[in-house]
Chains A and B, each alone.
Chain A
């Protein structure tokens, strides 16, 4: 009997030790593991086609807001929509902010500098506007960041005018992405037929939502902080 008890004690002690070690290891792993990514990723599309190029200054206002809101670990890219938007050359600036605040400041200045250079060097608006290509470019960037919250801001009149050689008849696959159409200008034709404007917005909304995204329209940039919670 006493032998059994002592055997039990001998076995119980290592078991208890093992349990304690396992608990400590679990705590250590929980403590040291990276929590699920709670970063943000933002992709800004600027339409530089004929009907919208005059609104390009808005992108600076939007960028200033985004740069002040985004922080360490977040990603930001700014691209323009022209005749063919699904190319790397369309990206004006892109960055993922460093974990150190001092480096983040430098990165923000670099993004701002590239944007200002683009604005200063802009001369000719594009003839066509490949909005779908831009959205596909933004989707690839946003999915690549693996951020928890992904926003795609589109500064455009949403009037797509594709060159004949481009094939954009495909699914957008915008799962987890919030698409925010900003400053959607009414075109001259919309004045004659206001229904066309709403029809255009509705068709984009349907397309985005069918492809898994969420759709939002904000025409006044001042309302952006209240309508879109980046934090």
Chain B
């Protein structure tokens, strides 16, 4: 078919091809303005449409970004409020526990101080110092003896009496001193008691001071969130991402734990529900094992919820304390029952595995013999079966973190996708525009021969017209025309520049 068309003009393919080429080039030359218009308009249309779509995506992106920011700040505010509330509760607890007994403490301090004061007064009411008896004794001793025995006797008696009085006074003074020392000694426990009481007060005041500093810090953070501070948003975002990755990791570990649990009870479950029935594509025993694990996780969630560790179910949070306690007890009891069932299933699994191993040995003809330490894996499996449900019950904590942080992560991912889409749209639009410009040049390249002829003819005609104009008109007008030509030449590159820069055209008001 193609060869028939090719050789329609002549039997020689080369000649025929040349004729076809001439026809094609002529047709292309004739349709050049329309083709240029078509390509240019197509490129512009692509470019503007995609740019319009990009603007729409950008608006959506900004809305999503604002929404993410609002959600993040709301979550952060809620968290900060609960943290501040918790701090205030701690402060209240300290005040109630320590400073609530302050009147008693104050009375005790007063009593101690009064006692110390009394003791102090008692200790300063001392007896007068003994008079200067020694001086008197020396004076009496230095009196000149007249040799009169009566005088000597009188003096001797006086000395004795004075000596005796001196001794008695000294003894009384020493006794008084001892008594005062005793009083001061009795003050020591009171001092110690006073010191301890003051230490307690100091400790309480210091604890309160630390709490108040923590509250100040959190209040400042809260204030930043209320003011929609960028730093606060970034901090919340980082915290949320961290929570997401940590909770994902813990949930992954929990999933592996659930898989181990599943394999522990799936086989013995067929002993209970039968190994031949199936629900959909899964064996009924597998489904039953999965259901048991799911129920255990659910009971764990209820338990944590009723203990107010997690806050996934507002209905449970709204229950009164009595109902919550009932729910907690019910969840715990069911969990323990399931743990017991799993433990027994794990033991059954060990028994079945041992039976299968014995049968396999019998089939292969090998000697069968019981293992000496066969009870160790059995015990291990039983323990594992009992502990794993409780371990899985705690999955509620990472689950809550995951759910809370998932919103932020999904928002960030959506934002990233929208941003990538916007860039792609803009790049595609620019490429389409440039591609059309390239096609226009390629079109001209195909018909370069007639275009060259056209340029040549036009040049000659212009030259001829210029020569005629020079011959018929005066010189000044000719000078005036020269700048006009130059200005036309200048205008052409300007138009070309406009076309080339079409990629950077601003959007019109309607497009925006």
A-side interface residues toward B, CB under 8 Å? Answer: 30-32, 34-35, 38-39, 64, 67-68, 71-73, 99-102, 104-105, 108-109, 112
| Complexed CA–CA distance, A99 and B285 (Å) | 10
Could you tell me if A64 and B355 are in contact, using CB atoms closer than 8 angstroms?
no
Write out the residue numbers on chain A whose beta carbons fall within 8 Å of the beta carbon of B271. Answer: 100-102
Could you tell me if B276 and A73 are in contact, using CB atoms closer than 8 angstroms?
yes
Could you tell me if B274 and A105 are in contact, using CB atoms closer than 8 angstroms?
no
Write out the residue numbers on chain A whose beta carbons fall within 8 Å of the beta carbon of B351. Answer: 102
| Complexed CA–CA distance, A226 and B278 (Å) | 28
Given contacts A68-B363, A105-B355, 16 further A-B contacts (CB under 8 A): A31-B280, A32-B279, A35-B281, A67-B363, A72-B270, A73-B276, A99-B270, A99-B274, A100-B275, A101-B267, A101-B270, A101-B275, A104-B275, A105-B359, A108-B363, A112-B363
The verdict on B487 contacting chain A, using a C-beta distance below 8 Å, is no
Interface string of B332-364 (1 = CB under 8 A from A): 000000000000000000011001100110111
Interface CB pairs A-B, < 8 A, 6: A64-B364, A68-B363, A73-B276, A99-B274, A99-B277, A108-B359
Write out the residue numbers on chain B whose beta carbons fall within 8 Å of the beta carbon of A101. Answer: 267-268, 270-271, 275, 352, 355-356
A27 to chain B, nearest CB (A): 10
| Complexed CA–CA distance, A32 and B279 (Å) | 6
Q: Kindly state the interface size class of chain B when it binds its partner.
A: 20 to 34
Could you tell me if B276 and A39 are in contact, using CB atoms closer than 8 angstroms?
yes
Most buried by A among B279, B352, B363: B363
For B356, the closest partner residue in chain A by CB is: A105
Most buried by B among A64, A67, A71, A101: A101
| Complexed CA–CA distance, A35 and B268 (Å) | 21
Contact of B352 among A30, A34, A102 (CB under 8 A): A102
Given known A67-B363, A68-B363, A109-B362, contact A35–B280 (CB-CB < 8 A): yes
B410 to chain A, nearest CB (A): 30
Complex A-B, nearest 9 residue pairs according to Cβ-Cβ distance, in ascending order: A99-B274, A73-B276, A72-B275, A64-B363, A35-B278, A99-B276, A105-B355, A99-B275, A100-B271
Could you tell me if B270 and A112 are in contact, using CB atoms closer than 8 angstroms?
no
A42 to chain B, nearest CB (A): 15
For A33, the closest partner residue in chain B by CB is: B279
Most buried by B among A64, A68, A72, A112: A72
| Complexed CA–CA distance, A100 and B352 (Å) | 10
B202 to chain A, nearest CB (A): 69
| Complexed CA–CA distance, A100 and B274 (Å) | 5
| Complexed CA–CA distance, A71 and B277 (Å) | 13
Write out the residue numbers on chain B whose beta carbons fall within 8 Å of the beta carbon of A67. Answer: 359, 363
| Complexed CA–CA distance, A163 and B381 (Å) | 61
| Complexed CA–CA distance, A194 and B167 (Å) | 151
Could you tell me if A34 and B275 are in contact, using CB atoms closer than 8 angstroms?
no
| Complexed CA–CA distance, A35 and B280 (Å) | 6
Interface string of B360-371 (1 = CB under 8 A from A): 101111000000
**CB within 8 Å of A: which of B221-276?**
267-268, 270-271, 274-276
Write out the residue numbers on chain B whose beta carbons fall within 8 Å of the beta carbon of A112. Answer: 362-363
Write out the residue numbers on chain B whose beta carbons fall within 8 Å of the beta carbon of A34. Answer: 277-278
| Complexed CA–CA distance, A73 and B274 (Å) | 9
| Complexed CA–CA distance, A222 and B344 (Å) | 39
For B277, the closest partner residue in chain A by CB is: A34
For B268, the closest partner residue in chain A by CB is: A101
Write out the residue numbers on chain A whose beta carbons fall within 8 Å of the beta carbon of B280. Answer: 30-31, 35
Could you tell me if A73 and B275 are in contact, using CB atoms closer than 8 angstroms?
yes
| Complexed CA–CA distance, A180 and B275 (Å) | 28
| Complexed CA–CA distance, A64 and B360 (Å) | 8
| Complexed CA–CA distance, A109 and B270 (Å) | 20
Most buried by A among B275, B277, B281: B275
Write out the residue numbers on chain A whose beta carbons fall within 8 Å of the beta carbon of B360. Answer: 68
B429 to chain A, nearest CB (A): 47
Write out the residue numbers on chain B whose beta carbons fall within 8 Å of the beta carbon of A35. Answer: 278-281
B471 to chain A, nearest CB (A): 93
Could you tell me if B270 and A31 are in contact, using CB atoms closer than 8 angstroms?
no
A61 to chain B, nearest CB (A): 10
For B275, the closest partner residue in chain A by CB is: A72
Given known A31-B280, A68-B363, contact A100–B270 (CB-CB < 8 A): yes
For A74, the closest partner residue in chain B by CB is: B276
| Complexed CA–CA distance, A31 and B288 (Å) | 12
| Complexed CA–CA distance, A67 and B355 (Å) | 14
| Complexed CA–CA distance, A112 and B368 (Å) | 15
For A37, the closest partner residue in chain B by CB is: B276
Write out the residue numbers on chain A whose beta carbons fall within 8 Å of the beta carbon of B362. Answer: 109, 112
| Complexed CA–CA distance, A32 and B271 (Å) | 18
| Complexed CA–CA distance, A216 and B358 (Å) | 33
For B278, the closest partner residue in chain A by CB is: A35
Could you tell me if A109 and B275 are in contact, using CB atoms closer than 8 angstroms?
no
Given known A30-B280, A102-B355, A105-B356, contact A71–B275 (CB-CB < 8 A): yes
| Complexed CA–CA distance, A102 and B360 (Å) | 14
| Complexed CA–CA distance, A16 and B62 (Å) | 41
B37 to chain A, nearest CB (A): 58
| Complexed CA–CA distance, A113 and B236 (Å) | 72
B274 to chain A, nearest CB (A): 3
For A104, the closest partner residue in chain B by CB is: B275
A77 to chain B, nearest CB (A): 17
For B365, the closest partner residue in chain A by CB is: A64
Could you tell me if B279 and A31 are in contact, using CB atoms closer than 8 angstroms?
yes
Given known A101-B271, A102-B271, A102-B355, contact A72–B363 (CB-CB < 8 A): no
| Complexed CA–CA distance, A102 and B359 (Å) | 11
B344 to chain A, nearest CB (A): 14
| Complexed CA–CA distance, A102 and B271 (Å) | 7
B79 to chain A, nearest CB (A): 39
B283 to chain A, nearest CB (A): 9
Write out the residue numbers on chain A whose beta carbons fall within 8 Å of the beta carbon of B279. Answer: 31-32, 35
For A34, the closest partner residue in chain B by CB is: B277
For B270, the closest partner residue in chain A by CB is: A101
For A101, the closest partner residue in chain B by CB is: B352
B356 to chain A, nearest CB (A): 7
